Chain A
Amino acid sequence: MSNLLNYIHFPIYSVMVLFLGAFLIVVLGKNKFLRHLIAVLAAGISLACMIALIKPVMLNGEVIAYWMGNRVPAGGYAIGIAMEVDALSLFFGLLISTAVFVSCVYSVQYMSHDENIPQYFTLFLMLAGGVMGLVLSGDIFNMFIMVEILTFAAVALTAFRNKVYGALEAAFKYLVVGCMGSTCILAGVIMLYANAHTLNFAQLSGIIPGMMSNNSVKIAFALLFVGFSTKAFIVPFHPLAADAHGAAPASISVLISGVLTKSGIYGIIRLTYFLFQTMGLGSFQFLLVFIGCVSMFLCVTMALAQHDFKRLLAFHSISQIGYVLTAVGLYTAIGFSAGIYHALNHTLFKGLLFLAAGAVLHETGTTNLDELGGLSKKMPHTTVLFLIGAFSISGIPPFNGFASKWMIYQACYEKAVESGNIGYVLVTVICLVTSVLTLASFVKVSQSVFFGRLPEKYENVKEVPWGMRLAMGMFAVLCVITGLFPNLVGKFLTHPAATAAFNANGYIDAMMGEGYASSALGPFMNSAQNVVFYEAGVWSPVSWLLILCIVLLAVTIVAVTGKYEKVNALATGEPDAKHALFFSGEEAVYSQVGGSDLFWGFKHNWRHYFSFMHDLHSGILNDYALWAVVALSLAMLFMLIVL
């Protein structure tokens, strides 16, 4: 019994608990309390296992190699299916299990309106299990199976509310392009197996870099790269995300945007940093940074033009993924740690924002920005939590978005100075401008949903049930903590993960035994950089917050004591002319400035760009499938030429 609780088993526990939970809910799902208990318990246990692994894997730098059925590699060939957990996969595992746990708590009360809830929770746990499996598995075919599971679970969940307009169509689009991505991954895995005769990830990373000159390996790399980018909804595939989020229930949008995109990014990191180790090439870094910048800027401008709250959030999650990709593509120590730090922050504040959108949908029944308004008076807690999320995503200092975005700018600019190529300065400028446009779109959302005038039909809207607020509160607290203590997050999470990312040999040796990597990889030792981390720049948020509070105190004291006369005319509730709004004399009728009538100056200047974008995103499946094929062919062309 004691070795059952030994931490070596925790990776398999966290994955199997979720699948077991899914199965149990199918069996006992009818009873409401039991179903919720199983779901929350499963998510909780998987999170607990991940947290328990922090000490051994993150701090001591140990890599857990877990062979299923104890079939250790024989004669230099790894036969059995392995699970490998190094700091990088544990980091993503932690990120995913937190999002899954909070979303599970949220959906307990959020789905109360819907029917056939047992199916919802089974699919929910299948999706969670799939993603955990993908992140922790050490076998490339096992990763493919997990990708299949999570894609189908996500498609089914997008179409869960099939009465919602566009849900079925969005799910179908997601299904088609998702399956194109999965088949690309499968084809890539098959070509790798043909060349390296093994499916174990570590052994592959030992063998494949040596065979990079072989054309079929290049094609395999292109296929895998495109396959995983469909999962991460990078630029050519981003309209899927917008439709999927628009229709899916909010707790599922949290998973899709917070978790699925991160699994795509994880896949790309594994490919480029470990399997094919092509990051050393300048042109390859340029490819990742270019894709990151394009998806960053394109999606934030598209978000500004949206009319629907959840579609806007969907476009934002892809633009934040663009940030992560740019940072990861820099191939510098601080760049990588900034990138995955931003991935963590993105899961937290994007989850919070989607839950807020869900709360608005749960109460008012619509997320159309042009119809909503003034909800802050009726839903004060949701407004405060939304504002925390909005400030975090737009990078306002005390919150976590700022810490990671600021590290990304540092990394970009240092890369520009170190590589002497002015292109990276342009990247920094694009990052900063995108951050301001993100702020603009969240000002638009807060004005058209939470502030401004409350329409009559939402008079009797009341606060969301406590469970949903608790979930949002969890995300908000995490947002503030990761924002205030970047150095702690660095020490425990991002720096070990970054060192693991640059240390491919450690990864291989852990699985295949000592010295294997140096023998196989001898000539191709990519420069495991001396991963040095310095506190990027001069900024300690805690002392800044302290000073802000002192000054805030001073200002409020001055504002309050100067009470020469009692503030007698505060609104006493009943509407009289004195407290009505100033309408240049007219009766103060209902008129809300929100939704699409904001930022005319910006939209007018960019009207040609916006009209071109409007035509591009036609919403027809054939176009998206065409883009996917074009992207695949371009990727193949690029790999063949460059590598």
Chain B
Amino acid sequence: MFKKTIIESTGKSPWLFHINAGSCNGCDIEIVSVLTPRYDAERVGFKLVGSPRHADIAVVSGPVTKQSLPRVLRTLEQIPEPRCIVTCGSCPQSGNVFRDSYSVCGPLSKYVHVDVDIAGCTPKPEAIMDGLLLAAQILAEKKKTGNQEATLPNPYAPEKTAEEAKPAEEKTEEKGEA
């Protein structure tokens, strides 16, 4: 009976759960700095929680190492629907400088559908804030449509000026719509 309020408030109170998949702690301190007075993520409802059961958004940092892979996947599995997975920093997206090491199991997107990637080798707290806000909107979108793979157009996607970027643009456009 509160369907509309539930959808609205899903977007307004996203709780974060931070998973360190072997990170160099650069991104970890950036994530926590988002909650400090200067950037204060709490004013839009973000809160760092201690257990995946309470979490909505899982923030993964670090190149998913062989040791941490099963643990990360199990923790992500334990987060109740609707959930978003955000990778912070470029390590989880590609393994960055650790890419070809024998103990890194490659990007997180190989195992799990990643909703938002925040690039940057320690992305700026504002960038993390953008990513999390986008993730919060995606969360609300998932709650509304009920499908866990829902996604939103990315407001920060680079506008391609060169002409060969144009086809890429259309291609991404309609793929987004599909």
Contact = CB atoms under 8 A, between A and B. Distances in A.
Q: A and B touching (C-beta < 8 Å)?
A: yes
Nearest to A561: B1
Interface stretch (A73-81, A234-242, A412-420, A578-586): A578-586
A577 B72 CA distance: 12
A578 B78 CA distance: 5
A582 B6 contact: no
A564 B78 contact: no
B6 A564 contact: yes
A39 B79 CA distance: 58
Contacts of A577: 73-74, 77-78
B51 interface: yes
Contacts of A559: none
Interface in B35-84: 51-53, 68, 70-75, 77-78, 80-81
Interface string A541-567: 000000000000000000001101100
A538 interface: no
Interface residues of B, number: 20
B2 interface: yes
A569 B82 CA distance: 12
B159 to A, nearest CB: 38
Given A562-B1, A564-B2, A582 B51 contact: yes
A507 B68 CA distance: 81
Nearest to A587: B74
B3 interface: yes
Contacts of A561: 1
Contacts of A562: 1-2
A578 B77 contact: yes
B72 A585 contact: yes
B78 A582 contact: yes
B71 A585 contact: yes
Given A577-B78, A578-B77, A585-B72, A564 B3 contact: yes
Nearest to B79: A578
Nearest to B77: A577
A363 to B, nearest CB: 32
A565 B146 CA distance: 9
A315 to B, nearest CB: 36
Contacts of B53: 582
A585 B78 CA distance: 9
A585 B75 contact: yes
Contacts of A582: 51-53, 75, 78
Interface string A581-606: 01011110000000000000000000
A569 B80 contact: yes
A586 B1 contact: no
Contacts of A569: 80-81
Contacts of A585: 19, 68, 70-72, 74-75
A22 B70 CA distance: 67
Nearest to B7: A564
Contacts of B72: 585
Contacts of A587: 74
Interface in B1-16: 1-3, 6
A446 to B, nearest CB: 23
Considering residues A577, A582, A585, which has the most beta carbons from chain B within 10 angstroms of its beta carbon?
A: A585
Interface of A: 561-562, 564-565, 569, 577-578, 580, 582, 584-587
The 5 residue pairs across chains A and B that have the minimum distance between CB atoms: A585-B71, A577-B77, A577-B74, A585-B75, A578-B77
20 contacts: A561-B1, A562-B2, A564-B2, A564-B3, A564-B6, A565-B146, A569-B80, A569-B81, A577-B74, A578-B77, A578-B78, A580-B74, A582-B52, A582-B53, A582-B78, A584-B71, A585-B19, A585-B68, A585-B75, A587-B74
Interface of B: 1-3, 6, 19, 51-53, 68, 70-75, 77-78, 80-81, 146
Given A564-B6, A580-B78, A585-B68, 7 more contacts: A562-B2, A569-B80, A582-B52, A582-B53, A585-B74, A586-B71, A587-B74
